[in-house]
Amino acid sequence: MPSTLKSLKLLADPTRLRILMLLEQEALSVAELQELLGMGQSRISTQLSQMKTGGLVSDERSGKNNIYSCTAGEDLMKVARVAASEIPEVSADQSALRHLLRKRKDKSRAYFDELAGRFGKDYVPGRSWKALAEAFIKILNYKVVADLGAGEGTLSQLLAQRAEKVIAVDLSPKMVEFGQQLAVQHGLSNLEFRVGDIENPPIDDGALDLAILSQALHHAEHPQTAVNAAFRILKPGGRLIILDLLQHNFEEARELYADRWLGFAESDLASMMEKAGFSRIETVVADREMVAPKFQTLLGIGVRPE
């Protein structure tokens, strides 16, 4: 039987506590713990070895990986949970774990990631992401849609061909004026442009069936506030679609494109949506550019609960 004193000594280390809180929820590999904690393999393996010796965790071989589980007794875990409540990172760890588990459930994810990576490498006349996107937009059937950070409204005009009403919001009065002129020219009477900030869009609470943030979130001063605002203006059951850049290191984007943020990690985007109140959250890297700086497009989808 493991020594209680030795076990308590092991729990005095914040990193070991964070690991134990994760393993209490789910059996995980070292690679998954690396992803969740943002730490190196050597550091995590050392901590796991000590915890295994102390009887806090056990491991089981699965293919090339060792999968670790929590084996600490309930009395000890009660103490561990109290101690873990004093560690600020534990809450973020749990959010990252929920995102990882959502990714696990999608068994075909790896296949479709590979498929997306191949798309366009082999030439097929008439096949493109643009053509597919326009085709799918034309079969959408939402009543009230908002394009948040719409710019001149290219996406808004496509959406207006199917939706009953589209509200395009942009911070630039010139963009709004130009977009509204295009809507009139193309006879899109159901497309309305409004000047406003995506962090506080001029749209009534619970007014939307669908909200879209397309390459807009990385311009927001406070991205979480923008996601919260999208939740506020959606009806129960309404959906949010976010298209943005995956986190990158191309610093020149700040000057070239007035970007406030250099993209977002998948886990960060999922965490923002979860904090706002969204459920059924999905994220995926939907596209990869082949030309430097090789930007990648991150897609996030969430639903406001009924």
Residue type, position 131, single letter: A
User: Is 120 a residue whose pLDDT tops 60?
Assistant: no
For strand 57-62 and strand 28-29, is the pairing parallel, antiparallel, or unpaired?
unpaired
Give the N- to C-terminal CA distance of the chain in Å, as an integer: 49
Rounded to an integer, what distance in angstroms lies between the CA atom of residue 175 and that of residue 85?
48
Q: Which of 21, 189, 60 is nearest to 180 (CA)?
A: 189
pTM recorded for the entire structure: 0.68
Lowest mean pLDDT among 8-22, 113-127, 172-186, 191-205: 113-127
Mean per-residue pLDDT of the chain: 88
Give the closest residue to 282 by CA, choosing from 23, 79, 106.
106
Give all domains of the chain, ordered by start, each with its CATH number.
4-105 (1.10.10.10), 109-139+197-303 (3.40.50.150)
Tokens of 222: 């406070």
Average pLDDT over every residue of 168-184 = 93
For 246-266, what is each residue's pLDDT tens digit? 999 999 998 888 899 999 999
Task: Specify the pLDDT at position 103.
Answer: 75
pLDDT tens by residue, 20-51: 999 999 999 999 999 999 899 999 999 999 99
Q: How much is the pLDDT for 63? A: 74
Q: For residues 73 and 114, which has the higher predicted lDDT (pLDDT)?
A: 73
Confidence check: pLDDT of 58 > 70: yes
